[in-house]
Amino acid sequence: MRENLHRFFRAARGAGVRISPSESIDAMRAVSEIGFADREVLRDTFLLTLAKNTDDKRALGECFDLFFKPPEITAPPAQNNDNEPGESGESSETQEGQAPSGGAASAPSPGLSPMAQMLLSQDQNGIAAAIANASSAAGLSEIRFFTQRGIFSSRILNELGISQLRDDLDALNASNPAEAERLAAAVEALRENVRDTVSQALLLYGREESENLRNDILRNAPMSQLDQRQIQQMRVLIRQIARRLRERYSKPRKRQRRGHLDVRRTIRRNAAWGGVPFLTTWKRRHRDKPKIIAICDVSGSVARVSDFFLLLIYSLHEVVSDVRSFAFSSHLIEVSDILENEDADKAMKEIMTQVGFGSSDYGKSFEDFEKLALSAVTPQTTVIVLGDARTNNLDPRADILKRVSERCKRLVWLNPEGRMVWGWGDSEMPRYATFCSVVRQCATAKQLERAITDIVAAYQ
C-alpha cells in the first residue's frame, strides 16, 4: 500500500498538484483508516487531504482515475469457428479466471511454461497480476519520456518470460500447430497489453518531464516569433513565473516588521539567567519602502509580447505594495486601478481596448507621463520601461527621460528586440540607453523573468 501511495503522489505532483511531505503523511494516515475497498471514498479522501483549490481537485481527480483504472486485458481473437463472434459466454467465463468454452483452450499441452499455460487458458486476472508484477520489477514508474516506451516494454516482456514463450512456440509448432497458432495470438495480445500499460504509465509519470522540456524550449524561444498555439502555452508559463514571484517575495509582514534574531545581543541580555533566552533582541535592517513605476508599450510593433509584459506587471502589483503602472501607444494612460481591481485576463483586454495596437509615439507618451506622474518619482522609485524604443521617426523627447533618470533611484529599460537592431531604422534605443541605469534585452521569457526577479529582489 505504501509503495502504491508513493507512486500516486509522484504522479499527482507530475500533474501539477503541489504535495508537501506533511500532506502526504496526512493522506496516508487517512487511507490507512478507510482502506482501498471503496474507490469513491478513497478518491474523496485524496481530494480532501491534498487538493487546495479547484484546479488541484480537477488535476487530482484526473490523476486518480488514470492511476486506479483497472487494466484492460486484451484477449486474443477466437480461433474456434463454432462460437459466434462477440458471444458473451467467453468474456463471462474469463472474468472469473476460467478458460473459455472449447476443448483446446481448456487443456493446454503439458510441459509448457506457467505463462504459456496462463495465456492459453486466457486467465485474465492472472495475466493482469503478472503484468503488474513485471511492471514493478522493471521499474516502470521511472519512465519519463516517450522515447523510453520501447525500452520499458522490452523490460516488462523479459520479466514475463518472453524468451521462454518463444521456446514454447517452437516446440508447439513441431507437435501441435493449432495450439501454436493460439499461443502466438495470445502472445501478440500480451504484447499489446504491455504496450498499453507502458503508455498509461507515461501519462502518469512522464507528464512533468515532458512539460518541463516544453517549458524550457518556450522559455528560450523569442516571444515575438511564437505561433498561436505556443502563445497560449506561453501565457501559462508567464503565469507560472508570476506565481513564483509571489511565492518567493511575498514575505509575511510580521517577519519583516520584527526582523531577525540578534543572537549575540540576546545572549548578553540574558546573562543573568544563565543564558536562557527569556528576553530576545531583534536586529532590523532599514529598507526604503519600495516604489515601482512601470511604463509598458502596447503598440502594434510589440503586440505579440505586450500581453506577456502586462502579465508580469500584473504580478508586480501582487508582490510590491506601491506600484503605479502606465500603458501607451500613441498616448499614455494610467492602468493601476485596472490591474488591481480586475483579474489578469479582463485587465489585459481592457487595457488593450483602451490604448493597445496603435502607432507608437514615445515623445507624446513621455509628455503625458511628465504631466501625470513625474512629481511622484522620488529617490526611492524604480522606473521600468518595457518597449522597443521605435518612435516612428517622431520626436523621442529624450530630455524627459533624462529628467526622470535624475529624479529616480533606477531607470530600467527592457527591450524585446535583439541588441543587433538597436539604433537601426526608427529605433532610438542608443539615445534612451544613455539615461538608463540598466538596459536589458528581454526577447524570451527567461530573460524577462530574470530581469523582473532582479528588480523585485533588490527590495527584499
Task: Write out pLDDT tens, residues 184-218.
Answer: 999 999 999 999 889 888 888 877 777 777 788 88
pLDDT of 71:
60
Cell of 122: 486466457
State residue 435's pLDDT score.
95
Residues 158 and 137: their CA atoms lie apart, in Å, by: 10
| In-domain check, residue 442 | yes
pLDDT for res 100: 42
CA atoms within 13 A of residue 360's CA, in its CB half-sphere:
23
* Domain match, 159 and 263 both: no
Quick one: 303 and 386 in the same domain? yes
- Are 321 and 175 in a shared domain? no
Q: Quick one: which of 449, 20, 29 has its CA closest to 244? A: 449
Round the CA-based radius of gyration of the chain to a whole number and report it: 33
Same domain, 279 and 166: no
Selection from 406, 407, 405 nearest residue 433 by Cα: 405
**Between these two residues, 90 and 226, which has the higher pLDDT value?**
226
Q: Which three cell numbers stand for residue 240?
A: 507560472
**Residue 231's pLDDT is what?**
78
Report whether pLDDT(13) > 50. Answer: yes
Mean pLDDT is lowest, of 68-72, 76-80, 313-317, 393-397, for 76-80
Q: How many domains does the chain have?
A: 4
User: Would you say 416 and 445 are in contact if contact means Cβ atoms under 8 Å apart?
Assistant: no
Give the other-Cβ count within 10 Å of 124's Cβ. Answer: 22
Which pLDDT score, from 0 to 100, does residue 80 have? 52
pLDDT at 92: 41
Average pLDDT, the chain: 81
How far is 431 from 428, CA to CA, in rounded Å? 6
CA-to-CA dists, residue 82 to 106, 401, 411, angstroms: 15, 90, 86
Strand partners for 412? 384, 438
Cα dist. 386→118, 307, 318, 401 in Å?
Answer: 68, 12, 19, 13
- In-domain check, residue 225: no
> Do 383 and 275 reside in the same domain of the chain?
no
Same domain, residue pair 292 and 389 = yes
Higher-scoring residue by pLDDT: 263, 368: 368
103 and 120 in contact (C-beta within 8 Å)?
no
Q: Which pLDDT score, from 0 to 100, does residue 432 have?
A: 95
What does the pLDDT read at residue 313?
81
Q: Judge whether 81 lies within some domain.
A: no
pLDDT of residue 250: 60
Range(s) of the domain holding residue 268: 255-285
Average pLDDT over residues 250-264: 62
Q: Are 292 and 428 part of one and the same domain?
A: yes
AA letter at 291: K
Lowest mean per-residue pLDDT among 8-22, 363-377, 446-460: 446-460
What is residue 348's predicted lDDT score, i.e. its pLDDT?
84
Which one, of 194, 196, 200, 192, lies nearest residue 67 by Cα? 200
In a domain, 140, yes or no: yes
The single residue listed with the C-alpha cell 503508455 is 199
The verdict on residue 423 lying in a domain is yes
Strands 410-415 and 260-261: unpaired
**Per-residue confidence (pLDDT) for residue 242, from 0 to 100:** 74
Q: Are residues 176 and 245 in the same domain?
A: no
Which is more confident, 453 or 72? 453
The C-alpha atoms of residue 179 and residue 108 are separated, in whole angstroms, by: 8
C-alpha cell at 205: 509519470
Q: For residue 221, give the nearest of 429, 413, 442 by alpha carbon.
A: 442
Q: Is residue 25 part of a domain?
A: yes
Verify that 347 and 274 share a domain, yes or no: no
Say whether pLDDT at 259 is over 70.
no
Partners of residue 178 on adjacent β-strands:
none
Taking a C-beta distance cutoff of 8 angstroms, is the pair 182, 127 a contact?
no
pLDDT, residue 59, reads 84
pLDDT (average), residues 228-235: 78
Same domain, 156 and 241: no
Q: Quick one: pLDDT at residue 390?
A: 92
- Which residue in 359, 302, 291, 355 sits closest to 327, CA to CA? 355
Confidence class for position 403, pLDDT limits 50, 70, 90: very high
- Tens of pLDDT along 311-325? 778 877 766 777 889
Residues 294 and 419 in one domain: yes
Q: 262 in a domain, yes or no?
A: yes
> For the residues 372-378, what does the mean pLDDT come to?
92
**pTM for the whole structure:** 0.59
Residue 412 resides in a domain: yes
Same domain, yes or no: 174 and 294? no
C-alpha distances out from residue 365 to 73, 314, 386, Å: 67, 21, 13
Q: Can you give the pLDDT at residue 399? A: 95
Per-residue pLDDT tens digits for 111-156:
788 888 888 888 888 888 898 889 889 888 888 888 888 999 999 9
Query: What local confidence, expressed as pLDDT, does residue 89 receive?
Result: 44
**Has residue 392 got a pLDDT over 60?**
yes
